[in-house]
Amino acid sequence: QVQLVQSGAEVKKPGASVKVSCKASGYTFTTFSIHWVRQAPGQRLEWLAWINAGNGNTKCSQNFQGRVTITSDTSATTAYMELSSLSSEDTAVYYCAREWGISHFDYWGQGSLVTVSS
Amino acid sequence: QSALTQPASVSGSPGQSITISCTGTSSDVGNYKYVSWYQQHPGKAPKLMIYEVSNRPSGIPDRFSGSKSGNTASLTISGLQAEDEADYYCSSYTTSSTRVFGEGTKLTVL
């Protein structure tokens, strides 16, 4: 069965970076894109970026230009999201999701809580 | 990219029908069939309910339906049940090849 398993919770200081992983299993990793979505406490879903796991092409939201880096390791069937220059506003649950077709996400990771606090 | 506009909350009694709107622009909702809807219960990951405006994934009951007119997409839930109480988000593909989510709507089953 398809599964996306994310890395655990992180606590970071302002100005630091965080790297979240998303381990995929149960399907051919390179056939689907992986997207990253975050949700601050009590707030809406916010789309960050995506990576084509087949060719490594990436695209990110203008809101995160220059701060987010998306990579993947096909041998490990794992995608990564690194966010730099963290502030308290980046405190959120970060989700990875598999894109099935165009722009719909059929499987989601369990979420990784990133807390930014001094 | 601004969030798609959704009502903050809607409510209905068991058995009734409700509709949630999702308004975007000609750069997203209005220009593509790639609108999807997600249900999210507290503390859980979102769940895909509708894709490509009106299609239901396997296992989603036909009480859930979607449509689109111009820059506005809609999710209708008929025969409301207690377990439908959740947050609902729309999402769309955009002309920039990015994705955008709606503001979210809290559905209360009275």
Chain B CA closest to residue A62: B1
3-state secondary structure of B40: strand
Structure token pair of residue A107: 């499987």
The distance from CA B10 to its chain's CA centroid, rounded to whole angstroms, is: 12
Task: List the Cα angle B41/B45/B46 in 5-degree steps.
Answer: 75
Answer whether A61 touches B (CB < 8 Å).
yes
- Return the number of CB contacts < 8 Å for A and B: 69
Tens digits of residue pLDDT in B10-37: 999 999 999 999 999 999 999 999 999 9
- Least CB-CB distance to B46: which of A46, A63, A108? A108
Tens digits of residue pLDDT in A44-83: 999 999 999 999 999 999 999 889 999 999 999 999 999 9
pLDDT at B53 over 80: yes
CA distance B26 to chain A (A): 16
- Ramachandran region, residue B93 (left: φ > 0; alpha: ψ -120 to 50; beta: rest): beta
The verdict on a CB contact (< 8 Å) between A110 and B104 is no
Query: In a mutagenesis test of the A interface, which of B50, B90, B98, B106 is the best target, namely the one with the most A β-carbons within 10 Å?
Result: B98
The verdict on a CB contact (< 8 Å) between A61 and B101 is no
Q: How far apart are CA B57 and CA A66, in angstroms?
A: 35
Question: Average pLDDT in the B89-97 region?
Answer: 95
3-state secondary structure of A61: coil
The verdict on a CB contact (< 8 Å) between A47 and B99 is yes
Predicted confidence band at B63 (pLDDT cuts at 50, 70, 90)?
very high
CA distance B13 to chain A (A): 25
3-state secondary structure of A100: coil
pLDDT at A43 over 90: yes
